[in-house]
Amino acid sequence: MEIFVQQLINGLTLGSIYGLIAIGYTMVFGIIGMVNFAHGDVFMLSAFIALIFFVILTTWLGISSVVLALFIVLLIAMALTSLWGWTVERIAYRPLRGSFRLAPLISAIGVSIFLSNFVQVAQGARNKPTPPMVGEVIVLFQGESGYNVALSYKQIIIMVSTAVLLSIFWYIVQKTSLGRAQRACEQDRKMAALLGINVDRTISLTFVIGAALAAVAGTMYLLYYGVVSFSDGFVPGVKAFTAAVLGGIGSLPGAVLGGLIIGLIETFWSAYFSIEYKDVAAFSILAIVLIFMPSGILGRPEVEKV
Partner 1 sequence: MNAPSITTSSARSPAVPTRFDLAAALKDSAKSALIAFGLSIPIVAYRTDQSGADLFLNPRWDMVAIFCAIVFGLRLAQHAFMASRAAREAVPSPTQATELVHAEPSAFQKASRFGIPFFLGVALAFPILIYLIQGGLNESRYWVDLGILILTYVMLGWGLNIVVGLAGLLDLGYVAFYAVGAYSYALLSTTFGLSFWICLPLAGILAAFWGIVLGFPVLRLRGDYLAIVTLAFGEIIRLVLINWVDLTNGGAGISSIPRATFFGIPFTAGEGGFADTFGLEFNGMHRMIFLYYLILALALLTNFVTMRLRKLPVGRAWEALREDEIACRSLGINTTNTKLTAFAIGAMFGGFAGSFFAVRQGFISPESFNFLESAIILAIVVMGGMGSQIGVAIAAIVLVGGPEVLRNLTFLQAVFGSGFDPNEYRLLLFGAGMVAMMVWRPRGLISERQPSVILKERKAISGSLVKEGHG
The answer to whether 206 and 31 have CB atoms below 8 angstroms apart is: yes
Name the residue among 264, 214, 245 with its Cα closest to residue 15: 264
- Alpha helices (runs of H) in 56-197, residue ranges in sequence order: 66-88, 103-123, 153-175, 177-187, 189-194
Checking phi first, is residue 100 left (phi over 0); if not, alpha (psi -120 to 50) or beta?
beta
At closest approach, how far in Å is the CB of 95 from partner 1?
A: 5
In the bound state with partner 1, the residue whose beta carbon lies nearer, of 144 and 276, is 276
In the bound state with partner 1, the residue whose beta carbon lies nearer, of 1 and 113, is 113
In the bound state with partner 1, the residue whose beta carbon lies nearer, of 142 and 274, is 274
In the bound state with partner 1, the residue whose beta carbon lies nearer, of 38 and 298, is 38
In the bound state with partner 1, the residue whose beta carbon lies nearer, of 1 and 83, is 83
At closest approach, how far in Å is the CB of 273 from partner 1?
A: 12
Cβ neighbours of residue 68 closer than 8 Å, sequence gap 6 or more: none
Checking phi first, is residue 150 left (phi over 0); if not, alpha (psi -120 to 50) or beta?
beta
At closest approach, how far in Å is the CB of 12 from partner 1?
A: 24
At closest approach, how far in Å is the CB of 128 from partner 1?
A: 5
At closest approach, how far in Å is the CB of 172 from partner 1?
A: 20
Cβ neighbours of residue 191 closer than 8 Å, sequence gap 6 or more: 184
